[in-house]
């Protein structure tokens, strides 16, 4: 894919391990209130991941309350895993409310691209977010080489950070690119882990000025905790429980020491 219109990626690391640790520490300290409009599968794990991080989850996902709550919340997650007419109406309200108040928000476009209806919903949500209004997107583009070029373009177009998950996670704000190589295969065998990561990005973004740092901190925390959890469990079921234990005790210094950043 042609990336000639994109500027070259800076040679120095975009963000340091200490920056990620500081963002994680800020979540611990401030306990941001994160509004989640998410799917029926990932909702329990998402709330539990936020609680383990020290954040305060609030699943306010009806159209009557979503806008006002988003204006008051510290961060907002909009996840398109199981969208319905009533919850997508709430998502529009939440994104508008986040725009009103400058609340950082995360879009997790589950299966967008493959399914036309929710793709239209995602486009509409992104259009609602005025540039510079604090909107921050996380996308899950299909895969390898070309994905980064697409991600950088999307990030520049929408003024947000785009995340590509994989064995190495890639995060970009269009200019800078952050690579994180932690995690474990069982993360893909527990439903909702990726969705919970989106909520954790919203928590970090709520307390961190730089959106790329926030996305990196959330990714580092969850993947470092996952490595530790996988080391002492026997499969995806016990791993999922232990992941919450490890996340709840993950010290910022250990995050900084264990994150595989480039």
- Residues of this chain that bind its own copies (CB under 8 A): 39-45, 47-48, 51-52, 57-62, 64-65, 68-69, 81-87, 111, 115-118, 188-192, 233-238, 240-246, 248-249
Nearer to its own copies, 12 or 167 (CB): 167
Nearer to its own copies, 184 or 242 (CB): 242
Nearer to its own copies, 57 or 252 (CB): 57
Taking the complex as a whole, the smallest distance from the CB of residue 185 to its own copies amounts, in Å, to 11
* Three-state SS annotation for the chain: CCCCCCCCCCCCCCCCHHHHHHHHHHHHHHCCEEEEECCCCCHHHHHHHHHHHCCEEECCCCCCCHHHHHHHCCEEEEECCCCCHHHHHHHHHHHHHHHHHCCCEEEECCCCCCCHHHHHHHHHHHHHCCCCCCEEECCCCCCCHHHHHHHHHHHHHHCCCEEECCCCEEEECCCCEEEECCCCHHHHHCCCHHHHHHHHHHHHHHCCCCHHHHHHHHHHHHHHHHHHHHHCCCCHHHHHHHHHHHHHCCCHHHHHHHCCEC
Taking the complex as a whole, the smallest distance from the CB of residue 245 to its own copies amounts, in Å, to 3
Nearer to its own copies, 39 or 208 (CB): 39
Taking the complex as a whole, the smallest distance from the CB of residue 110 to its own copies amounts, in Å, to 9
Taking the complex as a whole, the smallest distance from the CB of residue 10 to its own copies amounts, in Å, to 37
């Amino acid at each position: 894919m042609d990336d000639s219109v994109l500027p070259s990626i800076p040679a120095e690391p975009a963000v340091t391990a200490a920056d990620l640790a500081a963002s994680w520490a800020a979540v611990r300290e401030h306990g941001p209130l994160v509004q989640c409009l998410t799917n029926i599968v990932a909702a329990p794990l998402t709330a539990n991941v936020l609680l383990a991080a020290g954040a305060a989850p609030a699943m306010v996902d009806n159209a009557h309350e979503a806008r006002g709550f988003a204006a008051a919340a510290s961060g907002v997650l909009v996840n398109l895993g199981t969208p319905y007419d009533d919850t997508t109406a709430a998502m529009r309200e939440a994104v508008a409310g986040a725009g009103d108040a400058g609340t950082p928000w995360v879009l997790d476009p589950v299966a967008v691209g493959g399914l036309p209806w929710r793709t239209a919903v995602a486009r509409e949500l992104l259009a609602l977010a005025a540039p510079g209004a604090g909107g921050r997107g996380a996308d899950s583009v299909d895969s390898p080489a070309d994905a980064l070029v697409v991600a950088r373009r999307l990030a520049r177009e929408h003024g947000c950070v785009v995340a590509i998950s994989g064995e190495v996670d890639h995060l970009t704000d269009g200019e800078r690119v952050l690579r994180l190589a932690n995690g474990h295969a069982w993360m893909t065998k527990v439903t909702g882990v990726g969705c919970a990561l989106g909520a954790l990005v919203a928590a970090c973004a709520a307390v961190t000025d730089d959106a790329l740092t926030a996305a990196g901190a959330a990714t580092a925390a969850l993947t470092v905790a996952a490595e530790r959890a996988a080391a002492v469990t026997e499969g995806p079921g016990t791993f999922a429980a232990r992941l919450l234990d490890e996340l709840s005790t993950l010290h910022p210094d250990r995050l900084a020491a264990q994150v595989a950043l480039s």
